[in-house]
Amino acid sequence: AVNAVSLGKNGVVELMFKIIGPFSKKNTSLMKVALDTLAALLKSKTNARRAVDRGYVQVLLTIYIDWHRHDSRHRYMLIRKGVLQCIKSVTNIKLGRKAFIDANGMKILYNTSQECLAVRTLDPLVNTSSLIMRKCFPKNRLPLPTIKSAFHFQLPVIPSSGPVAQLYNLPPDVDDVVDESDDNDDAETESEIETENDDDKDQHFKNDDIETDINKLKPRQELGRPVEELKMYEQFFPELSENFQECDLVSKEPKPFVPDTNMGGPIVVPTAGEE
């Protein structure tokens, strides 16, 4: 955020708006990179406010309409999405949302989204447009004078203080619907920038207690018994000790059956010795 503010003060936002423009098949890669950079810069409220003051919201909407009309084969969907990302970033502040509504942005995005619904590959454009419209739609209060329910249930114990007591003590005709405004959500104070600077300075101190040695992070696997006691089980796992390279494992001829003299005897399974 600090870098974005510094770049904005040096005129990078205005430079990006000189690079982007109406539909053209030339320099599309440069157009895509410029839009991604501009969207990142406009996430800063200072840069977004600067873009609104210079009337760039109307410029973004005009560019988006032009690309939408000329890109009939939907080859430049990423560029169109980049323009929407810029609009989404600039509408994070209240001034941007107001400029978006004044520029007839709600109608523009609604109509273009309706035209994109038939093409599944354009779903990202529809989703981003929906997010912008939901964010910029004017907030209306509930059409109710009170939050009290039409059904009343008497509590066994009504507290003497607190929100429940205040609600029960209100007169019946009092408007108790909370309607808080977001007038102050756009203020970017210097204390926030100072906090970000402090976070950048202290960044290399945050991970001092994290172990980075891979050898120390590997768990040590310890055997439950000594190796000498486990050797009695070698006869059950010959693949671990015997060499099978000398055996003819490829031959398909059936081998003659040789009866084992030990097959008739009991099978003894070695176990751990009694303590």
Compute the distance between CA of residue 117 and CA of residue 108 in angstroms, rounded to an integer.
15
Mean pLDDT value of segment 168-173: 68
Compute the distance between CA of residue 197 and CA of residue 202 in angstroms, rounded to an integer.
9
Of the candidate CATH numbers 1.10.3470, 1.20.272, 2.40.50, 1.25.10, the domain formed by 2-136 belongs to 1.25.10
Read off the tokens for 152.
């009343």
User: What percentage of the chain has pLDDT greater than the value 70?
Assistant: 61
pLDDT tens, 172-200?
Answer: 666 655 544 344 444 444 444 444 455 44
Q: Which of 144, 127, 143 is nearest to 135 (CA)?
A: 127
So what's the pLDDT on residue 209?
53
pLDDT tens, 149-163?
Answer: 667 667 677 777 777
State the pLDDT confidence band at 37, using cuts at 50, 70 and 90: very high
Buried b (16+ CB within 10 A) or exposed e, 43-75: bbbbbbbbbbeeebbebbbebbbebbeebeeee
Mean pLDDT value of segment 217-240: 74
**Secondary structure (3-state) at 131:** helix
pLDDT tens, 130-143?
Answer: 999 999 988 776 66
State the pLDDT confidence band at 96, using cuts at 50, 70 and 90: very high
So what's the pLDDT on residue 273?
59
Greatest mean pLDDT among 121-125, 138-142, 250-254, 264-268: 121-125
In degrees rounded to 5, what are phi and psi of residue 2?
-65, -40
So what's the pLDDT on residue 230?
75
So what's the pLDDT on residue 127?
95
Rounded to the nearest 10 degrees, the angle between the axes of helix 94-102 and helix 45-53 is: 30
So what's the pLDDT on residue 264?
55
User: Which residues are CB-contacts of 223 (< 8 A; sequence separation ≥ 6)?
Assistant: 230
| Torsion angle in degrees (nearest 10) through CA of 54, 55, 57, 60 | -90
State the pLDDT confidence band at 208, using cuts at 50, 70 and 90: low
Compute the distance between CA of residue 153 and CA of residue 69 in angstroms, rounded to an integer.
59
Compute the distance between CA of residue 88 and CA of residue 135 in angstroms, rounded to an integer.
9
So what's the pLDDT on residue 180?
46
So what's the pLDDT on residue 162?
77
Compute the distance between CA of residue 140 and CA of residue 178 in angstroms, rounded to an integer.
12
Read off the tokens for 90.
């600039």
Q: Is the pTM of this model over 0.85?
A: no
For residue 239, the 8-state DSSP code is G
